[in-house]
Structure 1
Amino acid sequence: MLREVVSEASTPKPFNEENINETFLHPQYRIDLRRYSDKEYNKFVHLNTVSDWSLLTWKGIGKPFEVQKYSKERTDWELEHARQMDPQTSWTYFNKAFHEWFIKDIPAEKTHGKKQFIKSLRSFHTKEIKHALGDLIQLQLWNYIHRIQDGIWDPRGKRALFEGLHLKKPRILFLGAAEGYEAMQLGAMYPGSEIIMVDYDEYCKNTRFADFPEDYPFLGENPKTGQGKVIYKDDLNIEYIVDDIRNLDFGKEFDIVLSVGLLEHFPDKYKHEVADWHRRFLKEGGYAILTTPRNQLRSRLYYHVMADVMNHTYRELMTVEQMGLYMYEAGFNILRHGYIKVHNGLICQPR
């Protein structure tokens, strides 16, 4: 497949249907308009591995892995305030840290990082060498996960999880929306969608979502032909609300209630409440769609090395079986489940 470095876009919408099945490497992220072939599909997307959810037990599958290495910002804050960092503050710190990494020109940063590491070696100061090496390792890992592997957004994998819902012009509610990526991908796949994004951190609306690249292409569908179509952020019908999910006054009016990386931020005693947020706003016959980071060795390594960027909040890593059992016990039927590069995914409905 074609791989190119994308320079500054000369037009606001530089990609079109001629670019479908191509991929491009941007200094900050990967653009991927490829589809999976039938041969590749089962290599990258593993669906419906559990035949009967009622047979699973916590004794049999174990509990999620709790990430316990926190960012220096969090530990410093807790020392200063002599108390545990509250969830809203922790999300504010996380969103800013994540966005600062997202906007880095990674090739340029890597070049600078290598120079700093060589400079530190010449200083013979152990602390300086360790700091420079740590920065370089973080850059290399971020580059691999986000740009090379495209594991954070993973458009091909998420399209595979989201496809086949047979919805026309659905209303989509995205809980804890951050920059809104997955709702935009759904909106591209289901033409005419109305998207409501919700996050209680104003920074997500005003910076993470506002700064999401206008020239990033989503692979969607042309409703007139049923063929692939390239969709951009400003082609979509999006409203962004800054509020606590618990304050929302919507009724059961959405075809899809979506969350990405939400369930794993709550200890067990709160997970039924998180599940109920999805149930509360769904139309009869609507779909709850959830993803969480996978419990695998490379994910544990990622959250260990990138702790200062990622670990401001309570966080678990789950298997898809653990994730599904939480939702099954909370009164949902699991219609589709699977795992992709670094995420688990569920599509479910209230029983």
Structure 2
Amino acid sequence: MEPTLASAQEVEKPYNGNDIGFTSMLPSHRVDLRQYSEKEYNKFVNMNTVRDWSTLTWKQVGKPYEVTKYSKDRRAYEDTYGEDMKPFTSWKYFNKAFHEWFVKDVPSEMADQKKAFLKSLGTFRPSEIKQALGDVARIQLWNYAHRIQDGVWDPRGKRALFEGLDVTKPRILFLGAAEGYEAMQLASMYPGAHITMVDYDEYCKTTRFEEFPDSYPFLGENPATGHPKVYYKDDLAIDYVVDDIRNLTYGKDFDIVLSVGLLEHFPDEYKSEVADWHRRFLKPGGYAIFTTPRNQIRSRVYYNIMADVMNHTYRELMTLEQMGLYIYENGFDIKQHGYIKVHNGVVAQPR
């Protein structure tokens, strides 16, 4: 089914309720307004596999896999300055590198990289051929992960993780928000939400969030009918705060505190502090939501090949059991959990 264009004046919002079930690959990303079929759900989503978190031990689940291959920019920085790259600096490098991939015209880039590789073969210089081949591999992998599989945003999987929360018009706090995708998906599912996004790199507000496509459709709920409804970024109430999470002065003001890919960037001695960031701002009965990349062969390959784009900071890959055990041992009861394509997800409440 082709998308319905409402009018020339609304071209920046090209999808509406008639397009639910539609999906298409655009030059830089996939639009996906589909629900999971039962077969797809069973393939991509595996929910609530641990019956009793209190029975798990670290001896049983093991420790996370640490990604130790860093980007060439980080290595060059440390060679130049003779010291480890500081966390704030590494996040600035990461955010810029990651965003540059999000805005690529991927089909054009794939064609250009193939031409560059064929040209490199004529040089008979192994270093140039290796570099060109690596460029081909990275753009092909990004195309598969982000456009074909939609594994970075994964709207259907994220909706499966987020569904069923007992909230009405929730206040949502997104820690380490970057472009803010997951909070916008949450707010579409729970209409009337107010989002506060927090990131300490101003680039995330001024570029990653601001350049998030206004035409991207989020599948949510119409509160008047209970039926599916399409939302866009400017339909949502959003504040963006540039600050260090440790400086926030909010009280227990939020129904949902969310982080995506945050916990795995901290060694064990800091994980309890990260967990406490989620607890500190929650109303009684509120929900903390965590996601992390899964420890699986595909993810290890991805972070190895995409090291120059992804690996500026300390990073672990976790199993769902490892992630959940960190959260459980730091004072949360886990209400639902599961893995969705390439991510683990946990919804928890403070004990």
| Fold agreement, TM-score > 0.5 | yes
- How far is 1:38 from its partner? 2.6
The offset of 1:124, in angstroms, is 1.3
- The alignment's TM-score, normalised by the length of structure 1, stands at 0.97
In the alignment, which residue of structure 2 is the partner of 1:65? Answer: 65
Which amino acid is the alignment partner of residue 81 of structure 1? Y
Do the aligned residues in 2 keep the contact of 1:98 with 1:309 (CA within 8 Å)? Answer: yes
Give the partner amino acid of 2:66: E
Counterpart of 1:286, as a letter, is G
**Counterpart contact for 1:71–1:311, Cα < 8 Å:** yes
Alignment-derived partner of residue 321 in structure 1: 321
- Aligned residues of 1:3 and 1:24 also touching (Cα < 8 A): no
Q: How does 1:6-85 map to 2 (within 5 A)?
A: 11-85=11-85
Is there any run of 5+ residues in structure 2 with no aligned partner, and where?
Answer: none
The 1-side partners of 2:226 and 2:262 are apart by 33
Does the CA contact (< 8 Å) of 2:265 and 2:315 recur in 1?
A: yes
Q: Which residue of 1 aligns with 2:198?
A: 198
Aligned to 1:184: 184
Q: Residue type of the partner of 1:254?
A: F
* 8 Å contact kept, 1:3–1:25: no
1:249-264 aligned at under 5 Å gives the runs: 249-264=249-264
Q: Quick one: which amino acid aligns to residue 206 of structure 1?
A: T
* Cα distance in structure 1, aligned partners of 2:127 and 2:188: 48
Output the CA distance in 2 between the equivalents of 1:184 and 1:302: 26
Match of 1:110 in 2: 110
Using the alignment, how far apart are the partners of 1:97 and 1:44 within structure 2?
Answer: 28
SS in 1 for 2:204: helix
Structure 2 match to 1:97: 97
Corresponding position of 2:150: 150
Distance in 2 between residues matched to 1:100 and 1:187, nearest whole Å:
26
Q: Which moved more, 1:153-162 or 1:31-40?
A: 31-40
1:282-301 correspondence runs (5 A): 282-301=282-301
Question: What do residues 4-29 of structure 1 show as CA deviations (whole Å, max 9, x unaligned)?
Answer: 9x9xx981100011110110110000
Q: Percent identity?
A: 70
Residues 194 and 238, structure 1, Cα contact 8 Å, conserved in 2:
yes
Task: Find the aligned partners of 2:338 and 2:117 in 1 and give their Cα distance.
Answer: 41
Q: Look up the equivalent residue of 1:58 and give its one-letter code.
A: W
Which amino acid is the alignment partner of residue 292 of structure 1? T
C-alpha distance after superposition, 1:119-163 (max 9, x if no partner): 111121111111111100000000000000000000000000000
Task: Map 1:148-297 onto structure 2 (within 5 A).
Answer: 148-297=148-297
**Distance across 2 between alignment mates of 1:145 and 1:117:** 22
Per the TM alignment, residue 3 of structure 1 is displaced from its structure 2 partner at its CA by: 8.4
SS class of match (1:113): helix
Tell me, yes or no, if the aligned pair for 1:45 and 1:338 is still in contact at 8 Å.
yes
The question of whether the paired residues in 1 share the 8 Å contact of 2:2 and 2:19 is answered with no
Q: Measure how far apart 1:42 and its partner are.
A: 1.7
Question: Tell me, what secondary structure is at the counterpart of 1:132?
Answer: helix
For 1:109 and 1:46, the matched residues in 2 are separated by 34
Q: Which residue of 1 aligns with 2:136?
A: 136
Contact preservation (8 Å) 2:320, 2:338: yes
What TM-score do the two structures reach when normalised by structure 2? 0.97
Q: Partner letter of residue 275 of structure 2?
A: A
Question: Is the Cα–Cα contact under 8 Å of residues 61 and 322 in structure 1 kept in the other structure?
Answer: yes
Instruction: Give the partner amino acid of 1:89.
Output: T
Structure 1 letter corresponding to 2:258: L
Distance 2:80 2:2 in 1: 48
Structure 2: how far apart are the matches of 1:303 and 1:38? 30
Q: 1:302 corresponds to which residue?
A: 302
CA-to-partner distance for each residue in 1:211-256, whole Å, 9 max, x for gaps? 0000000001000000000000000000000000000000001000
Write out per-residue CA displacement over residues 182-230 of structure 1, whole angstroms, 9 at most, x where no aligned residue: 0000010000000000000000000000000000000010000000000
Q: Any idea what the Cα deviations from partners look like across 1:232-289, whole Å, max 9, x if unmatched?
A: 0000000000000000000001000000000000000000000000000000000000
CA distance in structure 2 between the aligned counterparts of 1:192 and 1:36, rounded to whole angstroms: 25
User: How much does 1:37 deviate?
Assistant: 2.0
CA distance in 1, matches of 2:101, 2:17: 30
SS in 1 for 2:334: strand
Q: How far off its partner does 1:166 sit? A: 2.6
Amino acid at match of 1:147: R
SS in structure 2 at match of 1:150: coil
Take 2:2 and 2:161, find their aligned partners in 1: how far apart are those partners?
Answer: 25
